[in-house]
Chain A
């Protein structure tokens, strides 16, 4: 099985504005917003890249 691409959410505050757009659109419900911290479940995430498009400020990258 090919290894998953890496997903990076820049939530240290340099880009992320903690708006929750990615959390609401995630079809697998695997992104979590905790006031000023965004995390995602590495195991559930399929790297579908929907959150990348939904992020208004470009804080999510897939490599």
Chain B
């Protein structure tokens, strides 16, 4: 039996949001231990590897060798494959990089280590420690040995499959319609365009989309997300993706060199993310954008707030919910409105027919949008196809 450990802040999970929280807590003077159940941070990758870029400087992430490609824009393909192009001018924050996620995660962990964070690999949380209703750390298992880590503040950043939040008493469960099941191949010898991230909508991917994120000339991530509530049988994500590839010669001729799967929450924001001595963060707190399925930016933005508040709690000697509520308020101010609006939009979009998707994309062609958001898109569609936007009146 290994001796128990004590620390100021325990971060469970060394993904981007965990490393962010750890780094900012350490930077503010707290003693931080970050644990990771895998043997390698960032691997295996579970990600489409596309991300926006306008938020990076804000949270202190410098561009590095983790960037594969800087794209100029995104192309949205309707079911009949009409193409609507989104470029940097009117969608700056949604356009960005295709990245090497394992490199990215490692760089963030290095940044955290450079601020003094202690990192332990092959170390999984197996339970939560509670005293008088407060979370006071976690039971962990490292190389098969179980011991307690006592912490003033415990942060659960354990990803989509989070269990720590539920152990602590926060309902992080998600409904079937609030999850996409995803599968992706990295394919070589394909005809991709390194200037664009491509998205294919409609029945090719019920309740989700097919994506092409180019990593280099001839090399791309080709993936799919399908809403679980629209799935009836087994392995449907794979069947849909294989069918899509078969119908697109530019990709059917390619060769697969990697395969990635995973779950993505497309849920409304959680009602509560803080308990006495405890915060939940990132994918574990369902902070993924329900419209795009992107989670890195939100996780990192919330991670900085989370780490900063954790350090404040340590310094003040009070890690009660009242103090940690500053994190709850902080991330909500930055992210909640958009998360909720995009969740509502997702709820509608996942019910649309192919015909309606075609009309929406058709209406957007030739329209000059100043800024790309749900409201402006609906306005443009309303002018050409008022019957399509009837159901969306709440957004207008």
Give the B-binding residues of A (Cβ under 8 A). 17-21, 23-25, 27, 29, 32-35, 50, 52-58, 60-61
Contact = CB atoms under 8 A, between A and B. Distances in A.
Contacts, number: 85
Nearest to A23: B161
A35 B38 CA distance: 6
B262 to A, nearest CB: 4
B265 interface: yes
Interface of B: 37-39, 44, 46, 124, 159-163, 166, 173-174, 176, 179, 181-183, 228, 231-238, 259-263, 265
Given A20-B160, A25-B263, A29-B173, 16 more contacts: A17-B259, A17-B261, A18-B44, A19-B260, A20-B263, A21-B160, A21-B161, A21-B263, A24-B263, A25-B174, A35-B38, A53-B232, A54-B228, A55-B234, A56-B181, A56-B183
Contacts of A54: 179, 181, 228, 231, 263
Nearest to B235: A58
B46 A50 contact: no
A56 B39 contact: no
Contacts of A33: 161
Contacts of A32: 163
A57 B263 contact: no
A51 B52 CA distance: 31
Contacts of B262: 19-21, 56
B183 A57 contact: yes
A24 B162 contact: yes
Contacts of B231: 53-54
Contacts of A17: 259-261
Contact of B234 (A20, A25, A29, A61): A61
